[in-house]
Amino acid sequence: MSDIQYLINQINQFRDERNWRQFHNPKDLAISISIEAAELLEDFQWISSEEALEKNKENIKEEIADVLIYSLMLCDELGLDVKEIVEEKMGKNGEKYPV
Ligand SMILES: [Mg+2]
């Protein structure tokens, strides 16, 4: 099992033990990714990157994890292969922005 599938299984188990699947439709998962990304931005607001990392490193780690968790949940919900879609997009990025 890949590391990504292992994480998705852990997340799904956590969700199912709390009967939260009913709330995790694609729209609300997409909204949640954006909310968690905004929480990440809050850690950097009004201060330099250096200050933010000095002051908020622990919370920055948690917000990145939240973004990743919801992103993995949305991929799983939509039946998307994480490795495949990232590689596909990196290919497009390479065409758009040649070295
Ligand atoms: Mg959060």
Can you spell out the DSSP letters for the chain? --HHHHHHHHHHHHHHHTT-GGG--HHHHHHHHHHHHHHHHHTTTTS-HHHHHHHHHHHHHHHHHHHHHHHHHHHHHHT--HHHHHHHHHHHHHHHS--
Query: What's the pTM?
Result: 0.94
pLDDT tens per residue, range 36-82: 999 999 999 999 999 999 999 999 999 999 999 999 999 999 999 99
Residues whose Cβ atom is located within 5 A of ion ligand 1: 36, 39, 63, 66
- Report how far ligand 1's centroid is from the alpha carbon of 91 (Å): 30
Closest C-alpha among 54, 47, 56, 86 to residue 68: 86
- What top-level class would CATH report for the domain 3-96? mainly alpha
Domain ranges for the chain = 3-96
Cα(66) to centroid(ligand 1), Å? 5
- Cα 77 to ligand 1 centroid, rounded to whole Å: 20
- Angle, nearest 10°, between helix axes 49-78 and 26-42? 170
Distance 96 CA to ligand 1 centre (A): 32
Tens-digit pLDDT profile for residues 1-46: 899 999 999 999 999 999 999 999 999 999 999 999 999 999 999 9
